[in-house]
Amino acid sequence: MPLILDLVNAEGQSSAQKSSVTFRNAGGTIGRADSATWMLADRSRHISGVHAEISYEEGVYYLTDRSTNGIYDVAKNARLQKNEDYPIAHGDRFRMGSFVFKARVLQDADHFEHQIMGEPSSVSALIPDDEFLDTDPLAMLNAPEIPSEDFELGEFSVRRDDNFALNESFDDLDEPFLSPTLASVPLAKEEQAMLAALDISNPIPVRPVPLKPEKTGSPVAGSPASAHAPDSAQRVLQVLGSAMDFDFGKLTQDELDSVLQNLGVLTKHAVQGLQQVLRTRADIKNKLRLGSTMVQESGNNPLKLPGNYTQTLNCMLLGQIGYLSGPQAVRQALKDIQAHQVSSFAASRTILDSVFEQFSPTQLVYRFETAGKPGKWGSKDAYYWQQYQLHHQKMSGDQEWRQSQFIKDYARVYEEQAQYINAAWSELDAR
């Protein structure tokens, strides 16, 4: 099921700019970087290096905003929430800076082979885009049915049923066809005899029914679940409990179900929370013009790299060449978060001290005295107050000074503290 993104406003773009890109059951990136799957030539630099990420999961494409200036849904005229997966539907339009895209989601051939027969609305959904059709050829399905030439069945409706699919065998079409409406039509004696001979106590299903496992005795309420669990399940609980320092063997079946469900939810929230915190940390470091995470040959943290929850969890649990294991990734993430907290506190305190120093009486008096002398008939205090107002107004309007002062002092202290904490963690790991 490919996803095609078309550039709608190609007139105002460079002739070298690709007008479309296709994703085939896989993800990619969109941005100004050369490594992006779809590189956008943006001279205004409104587009980020990795402005958007496309991911594919369980038959659905997702768009994730990784930018500074945002992505907008044209139809809703609203900005997408940053770092949140947004499902892409056929016909959606998105705006990134001066670029406007239209999404086309095309169905594969096997999709139609397995499509379930249903109401006219579900059949019309097979056509991805009917904006160029003057009439709907499927509209006739809503019209009154014409009686069949072979059977006078009255009205006939197709029931939506998961067991009735287009890809089923049609070998049984020669068999007598039964419908609830036949009861209202008088049957000939020959037909009645044929129906009486049919064995309807065990009808043939449309799809093969899987064999049901033999029923075993239900566990007694309040008894440990591990006593009734199969050997493989019990082994899983033992390994998991050993790693967690938790005894699953004392739980009843109801307690075990609740604990496992809570464990799954906790894992998902923890992974997604770490991803969000690390992305926020990366945005702050980017604004401070500090180093950002780069993909390397080895030692990459899956929690820091672009990817949805499923991709990250698979990488952490199953392992992948070039990436840290799950425990290593979590440990490094916690270390970086702690370093960010301590470094931010130290840098904020340094900035506050610097501001107090800029407005200390000693510095202000020296600055005011060198700027000029008070008038002969004026008060010195009034002169100082006037100079202070001018000085404050000048500093408030000097954005370049404020930015350089912030970057110089804040970033310097932030980086120093982060290095100290990383060194402390390294010493702790070496023990």
| Residue 15 banded pLDDT, cuts 50, 70, 90 | low
Question: Which tens digits make up the pLDDT trace of 22-50?
Answer: 988 888 999 988 888 888 888 778 888 89
- For the chain, give the mean pLDDT: 73
What local confidence, expressed as pLDDT, does residue 267 receive?
92
Q: Which residues pair with 56 in a beta bridge?
A: 61
Question: Which tens digits make up the pLDDT trace of 288-309?
Answer: 777 666 667 778 898 987 778 8
Q: Which of 125-139, 244-258, 301-315, 391-405 has the lowest mean pLDDT?
A: 125-139
What local confidence, expressed as pLDDT, does residue 184 receive?
42
Question: Which tens digits make up the pLDDT trace of 180-209?
Answer: 433 444 545 554 555 455 443 444 333 343
What local confidence, expressed as pLDDT, does residue 182 receive?
38
The residue ranking higher by pLDDT, 398 or 60, is: 60
Q: CA-to-CA distance for 304 and 300, rounded, in angstroms?
A: 8
> Any idea what the Cα angle at residue 292 is, between residues 95 and 288, rounded to 5°?
85
What local confidence, expressed as pLDDT, does residue 54 receive?
92
The residue ranking higher by pLDDT, 188 or 326, is: 326
Q: Is the pLDDT confidence value at 63 over 90?
A: yes
3-state helix, strand, coil in the chain (%, to 5): 45, 15, 45
DSSP states along 50-92 = T-EEEEEETTEEEEEE--SS--EETTTTEEPPBT-EEE--TT-
What local confidence, expressed as pLDDT, does residue 127 receive?
44
What local confidence, expressed as pLDDT, does residue 134 receive?
45
Question: Pairing mode, if any, of strands 28-31 and 38-39?
Answer: parallel
Question: Which tens digits make up the pLDDT trace of 337-379?
Answer: 988 988 889 888 888 888 788 778 888 887 777 776 666 666 7
Question: Which tens digits make up the pLDDT trace of 76-123?
Answer: 888 888 888 899 988 899 999 888 999 998 865 454 444 444 444 444
Looking at the chain, the whole-number percentage of residues with pLDDT higher than 90 is 12
* pTM summary value: 0.44
Residue among 85, 102, 84 at smallest CA distance from 94:
102
**Residue 20 φ/ψ, nearest 5 degrees:** -160, 165
Count Cβ neighbours within 10 Å for each residue of 11-40 and write b for 16 or more, e otherwise: eebeeeeeeebebeeebbbbbbeeebbbbb
> Any idea what the Cα angle at residue 34 is, between residues 28 and 35, rounded to 5°?
40
Q: Which of 206-215, 239-248, 397-406 has the lowest mean pLDDT?
A: 206-215
What local confidence, expressed as pLDDT, does residue 374 receive?
65
Would you put residue 319 in left (φ > 0), alpha (ψ -120 to 50) or beta?
left
